[in-house]
Amino acid sequence: MTANDKYAVFGNPIKHSKSPQIHSAFAAQTGQQLSYRAHKVDVDKFADAAKSFFDNGGKGLNITVPFKIDAYNFADELSGRARLAGAVNTLALQDDGTVYGDNTDGAGLVRDICENLAWEVTGKRVLLLGAGGAIRGVLEPLMKLNPSQVLIANRTVEKAQQLARDFSEFGSVGACSFEALNANQYDLIINGTSASLAGELPPLPSDALTDEGCCYDMMYSAGPTPFMRWGAENAAWAVSDGLGMLVEQAAESFCIWRGTRPTTREVIDAIREELEASQ
C-alpha cells in the first residue's frame, strides 16, 4: 500500500456522491494514504472503464447506480453475499491480479440499525417496502438477525413473491401487494423503494405500526423524507433515513480494501450537519 493507491466510485449520475468525502475522512482517521475520486461512466462503458482503472494501478472501486449488476458480471470472484444480492457495490484488486466483488449494503444497513440507532430486530415483525435491488441486497443479513416475521410488499406482487422464494432458506418470509397491507402491525418498516427520491410515499395503511414501531428509509436527504414524515405522523417510536447506512457500507468497503475498520459516528455527524446547513 502506497500513497499512490487509487480508489474511486463509478456511477451515472455521480456529482451528488458523498463517497470521496467519506473515504477521505476514513483515510485521515486511520492514517492511510490514498486517493479517491468520483467518475461518471457512460452507461454502456462500465466494463471498459473498470478494466482501464485496474490496468492503470487502481486498487478498488465502489459502484453505485446503474452499474451494480455490471460490476457483478465484471468480478472474477464473488462473495457469498454478493451472489445472494445479485449485485456488487465493491470491487477489490487481489494480489494475484483478479478482481473480487462484494456487496456491503446489507452489512451497512444492519450496523446502522443495530449499533448506531440501537433498534432491535431479533424477534420483531419486519415489513420491507419494495422488491428491487435495494431490498435484495439487505435481506440476508436482516433475516440472519432472526426477526419473528418478514413481509415484502411491492406494487408488483410477483416480484415480491419471487424474492421471498429466493430467500426462504434463511427463514420465514412472506410477500404481498401494497393493497393487501391491512390488519397487521409491524415493529420495523424499511422503505427500499425509490419513492422518496420523487417526493412520494408508498401506499401504507395508517395503522401499520405497533406502539413502539420504527421507520427506516434507505434513502437520505437534507430533511425528513415523505416516508419519515409518515412515520412521525403515525406515532412511530423512532424514524431514520439511510445516511448511516451509506457511511457504514462505505466503512465495510474500506475495511475490505485496507484491512482496517474506521469509526463512523463523526463522519455521519459531519455529513448530517452539511445537509442540514444546505436546507
Q: Which domains does the chain have, with CATH numbers?
A: 5-102+244-277 (3.40.50.10860), 118-240 (3.40.50.720)
The response to whether 124 counts as a known ligand-binding position is no
At residue 200 the predicted structure's pLDDT band, cuts being 50, 70 and 90, is confident
The H or E element that residue 92 is part of is strand 90-93
Supply the pLDDT for residue 261: 96
Mean pLDDT of 5-28: 96
CA distance 85 to 219: 18
Supply the pLDDT for residue 278: 84
The H or E element that residue 256 is part of is helix 243-258
Task: Provide the annotated active-site residues.
Answer: 68
Percent of the chain with pLDDT over 70: 99
Supply the pLDDT for residue 199: 82
The response to whether 122 counts as a known ligand-binding position is no
Residue 270 has pLDDT above 70, yes or no: yes
Mean pLDDT of 53-75: 96
The response to whether 223 counts as a known ligand-binding position is no
In contact, 238 and 110? CB cutoff 8 Å: no
In contact, 175 and 152? CB cutoff 8 Å: yes
CA distances from 33 to 4, 171, 210, 213 (A): 8, 43, 47, 43
Supply the pLDDT for residue 184: 87
Residue identified by cell 426462504 is: 168
In this structure, of 141-150, 165-174, 189-198, 262-271, the range with the lowest mean pLDDT score is 189-198
The response to whether 221 counts as a known ligand-binding position is no
Supply the pLDDT for residue 3: 57
DSSP 262: P
Mean pLDDT of 51-65: 97
Across the chain, mean pLDDT equals 94
Residue 166 has pLDDT above 80, yes or no: yes
Supply the pLDDT for residue 182: 81
